[in-house]
């Protein structure tokens, strides 16, 4: 049963630059998959009423989405787990972690903009992790770049040749329909006002379409003909990307995207297990039909203001999860009860009774869990999934408790933020652990941290921004040598790793030049 359930699951995330249309696409996918009746019920953006995912006041003030969870859609016989990723670049660390929990990604591009910085950064993470990528070029209903120009960008800039599944008839802004490449048929759409309903779609068979669209049909066929046909093996290996054109707002091409996810995106498969046979270099895998196991890829606190709860989002990797089961928390070796298990998207919570590989379960009262922790059914063999990648922070600030009377709360809060991965906590031997250094990929992470220290932990903090921007891994032998250079700091991460921090990349290079024997390794996702 587990293998059957796993085989019909697809767990994906959408990666895109803000404003490319991720929220709109999420709504459109949900609408097509009939998860919701009217578009607008997933992300309450603008004046569209709905289930807002902006649960924190701060998010509402800023109109951005900090949290992420998963939306489960049923499409035919397939269950699609759509993992939400925050759009704002400052929370890309969160997005990176979500990418550890999916089996494929949809890269969403704005037809007028092509590859944008945030898309590039996230794509790089997919490439490193071997996550296959399907590309959707969005907003084809309005003027933009040429289809072939966008294809060139993918091939040239990121070495990811696109293999089109459909091709637009008419250039961006003069959209007439979508040419379905395998059949030669053309799909035309009647725009539904505001995208609130599925656009009526008409399929015109190849012969009739060729006649009806004349030169535009020939142009589309010629354009698409310049590129290779989709190839499953190279897509799964991350070397090519199946390409679709569409317009999420008008629900155009959305059904094709769902079909592509079903047909091409991989179902969950066995995952590396560092404990398997006890030897990291011979890391075994956790088979899908082994007893339940999963890992925490995301923590979220205070979703419910009245309860101040902590929800740990777990990606199920093997076996059947059943609410109420007691699992083992690998890091502590302690039992963890899963009485409160939820499926969470935005403000919507539903109690979940069972889950299978590829699914996401939200565990409530999970303050003992940390991002990256593994959980497993105690009856079976123990499992440890690979640790969460730690990303290169670019912003650093010293944190001090405002009122020394609150130092106990301060320490508790800092430990919790660390566990959830809200910010990275670094400790310098010189400064001591009473004044930890908060490190972040984006400065908004600091705002979340200070907000929570004050409102949730009752220990307001003062931040002193440090004039540092580059972090490198350094060995214990090299650390004292590097520390001699002016303007550098040596700090320790919670996992024991030593980092050398520099004011800027030039100073880092000069340290490296003056001390040729030392090695300064970049961290993941280093700009
Ligand atoms: P996100 O920041 O990636 O979540 O982007 P949104 O989904 O909020 O979309 C950003 C803007 O682009 C909004 O004003 C959308 O209405 C608009 N948009 C999204 N998809 C389309 C599309 O297919 N066509 C057009 N014309 N606009 C779109």
CA of 253 to the centre of ligand 1 (A): 14
Res 58: pLDDT: 43
Is residue 418 in contact with ligand 1, taking CB distance under 6 Å? no
Q: What is the mean pLDDT of residues 206-219?
A: 96
Dist. CA 20 → ligand 1 center (Å): 6
Rounded Cα distance, 23 and 485, in Å: 47
The two structure tokens encoding residue 136: 């959707």
- How far does residue 112's CA lie from ligand 1's centre (Å)? 12
Average pLDDT, the chain: 86
Lowest mean pLDDT, pick from 16-20, 142-146, 301-305, 365-369: 301-305
Tokens of 238: 């991350």
CA–centroid distance, 169 to ligand 1, in Å, is 21
Between 59 and 262, the more confident residue is: 262
Q: Is 256 in the pocket of ligand 1 (CB under 6 A)?
A: no
Output the pLDDT for position 425.
95
Asked if 302 and 369 touch (Cβ cutoff 8 Å), the reply is no
Annotated binding site for GTP: 84-88
Q: Is the CB of 223 under 6 A from ligand 1?
A: no
**Which residues in 139-274 belong to E strands, given as ranges?**
162-164, 166-169, 177-180, 186-190, 200-204, 241-245, 271-273
Is the minimum distance from the CB of 111 to ligand 1 under 6 angstroms? no
What is the C-alpha end-to-end distance of the chain, expressed in Å? 44
Under the banding of pLDDT at 50, 70 and 90, the label for residue 306 is low
Q: Considering only CA atoms, which residue is closest to atom 19 of ligand 1? A: 21
Cβ of 342 less than 6 Å from ligand 1: no
* Residue range 474-524, pLDDT digits in tens: 999 999 999 999 889 999 998 888 999 999 999 999 999 999 889 998 886
245: closest CA among 234, 256, 236, 259?
Answer: 256
Between 201 and 155, whose confidence is greater? 155
Q: Pick the atom of ligand 1 nearest to 108's CA.
A: 3
The pLDDT tens digits for 107-150 are 999 999 999 988 998 898 899 889 999 999 999 999 999 999 99
Q: How far is the C-alpha of 287 from the C-alpha of 3, rounded, in Å?
A: 10
State residue 450's pLDDT score: 94
Q: How far apart are CA 80 and CA 261, in angstroms?
A: 8
CA 151/CA 236 separation, integer angstroms: 19
What ipTM goes with this model?
Answer: 0.99
To which residue do tokens 């941290």 refer? 449
What pLDDT does 222 receive?
A: 95
Residue closest via CA to ligand 1's atom 21 equals 249
C-alpha distance from residue 79 to each of 137, 258, 291, 360 (Å): 24, 11, 21, 12
Spatial CA neighbour of 434 closest among 407, 467, 412 = 407
Q: Whose CA is nearest to atom 7 of ligand 1?
A: 21
Q: Quick one: DSSP state of residue 55?
A: -
Give nearest CA residue, ligand 1 atom 16: 249
Give the helix, strand, coil percentages of the chain, each rounded to 5.
30, 30, 45
State the DSSP code for 165. Answer: S
The reported pTM is 0.86
pLDDT at 43 over 60: no
Does pLDDT of 179 surpass 90?
A: yes
Of 160, 168, 126, 170, the C-alpha closest to 256 is 168
Please report, rounded to a whole number, the percentage of residues in the chain having pLDDT higher than 90: 61
Structure confidence at residue 290 (pLDDT): 94
Cα(131)–Cα(85) distance, integer angstroms: 15
Most confident listed range (60-69, 85-94, 201-210, 390-399)? 201-210
Question: 108, 97, 99, 151: which is closest to 126 by C-alpha?
Answer: 99
């Amino acid at each position: 049963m587990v293998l059957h359930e796993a085989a019909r699951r697809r767990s994906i995330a959408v990666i895109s630059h803000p404003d490319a249309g991720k929220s709109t696409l999420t709504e459109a996918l949900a609408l097509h998959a009939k998860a919701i009746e009217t578009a607008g019920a997933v992300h309450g953006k603008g004046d569209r009423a709905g289930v807002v995912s902006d649960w924190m006041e701060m998010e509402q003030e800023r109109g951005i989405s900090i949290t992420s969870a998963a939306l489960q859609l049923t499409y035919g016989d397939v269950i699609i787990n759509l993992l939400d990723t925050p759009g704002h670049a400052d929370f890309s660390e969160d997005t990176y972690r979500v990418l550890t929990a999916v089996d494929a990604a949809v890269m969403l591009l704005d037809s007028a903009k092509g590859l944008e910085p945030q898309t590039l950064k996230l794509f790089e993470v997919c490439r490193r992790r071997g996550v296959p990528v399907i590309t959707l070029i969005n907003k084809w209903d309005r003027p933009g770049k040429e289809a072939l120009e966008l294809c060139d960008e993918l091939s040239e800039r990121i070495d990811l040749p696109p293999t089109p599944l459909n091709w637009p008839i008419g250039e961006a802004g003069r959209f007439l329909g979508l040419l379905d490449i395998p059949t030669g048929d053309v799909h035309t759409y009647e725009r539904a006002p505001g995208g609130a309903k599925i656009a009526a779609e008409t399929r015109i068979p190849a012969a009739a379409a060729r006649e009806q669209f004349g030169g535009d049909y020939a142009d589309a066929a010629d354009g698409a003909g310049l590129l290779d046909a989709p190839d499953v093996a190279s897509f799964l290996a991350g070397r090519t990307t199946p390409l679709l054109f569409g317009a999420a707002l008008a629900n155009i091409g959305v059904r094709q995207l769902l079909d592509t996810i079903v047909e091409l995106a991989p179902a969950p498969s066995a995952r590396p297990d560092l404990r398997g046979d006890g030897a990291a270099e011979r890391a075994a895998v956790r088979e899908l039909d082994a007893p339940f196991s999963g890992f925490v890829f995301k923590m979220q606190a205070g979703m419910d203001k009245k309860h101040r709860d902590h929800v740990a989002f777990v990606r199920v990797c093997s076996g059947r999860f059943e609410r109420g089961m007691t699992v083992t928390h690998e890091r502590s070796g302690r039992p963890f009860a899963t009485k409160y298990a939820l499926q969470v998207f935005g403000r919507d919570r539903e109690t979940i009774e069972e889950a299978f590989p590829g699914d996401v379960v939200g565990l409530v009262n999970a303050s003992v869990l940390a991002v990256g922790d593994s959980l497993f059914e105690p009856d079976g063999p123990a499992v440890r999934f690979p640790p969460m990648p730690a990303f290169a922070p670019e912003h650093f600030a010293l944190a001090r408790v405002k009122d020394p009377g609150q130092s106990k709360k301060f320490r508790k809060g800092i430990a919790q933020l660390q566990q959830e991965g809200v910010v990275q906590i670094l400790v310098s031997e010189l400064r001591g652990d009473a004044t930890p250094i908060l490190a972040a990929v984006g400065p908004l992470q600091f705002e979340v941290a200070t907000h929570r220290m004050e409102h949730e932990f009752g220990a307001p903090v003062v931040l002193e921004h440090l004039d540092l921007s580059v972090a490198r891994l350094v060995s214990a032998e090299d650390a004292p040598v590097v520390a001699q250079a002016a303007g550098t700091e040596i700090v320790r991460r919670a996992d024991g790793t030593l980092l050398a921090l520099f004011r800027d990349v030039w100073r880092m290079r000069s340290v490296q030049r003056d001390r040729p024997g030392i090695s300064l390794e970049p961290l993941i996702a280093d700009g």
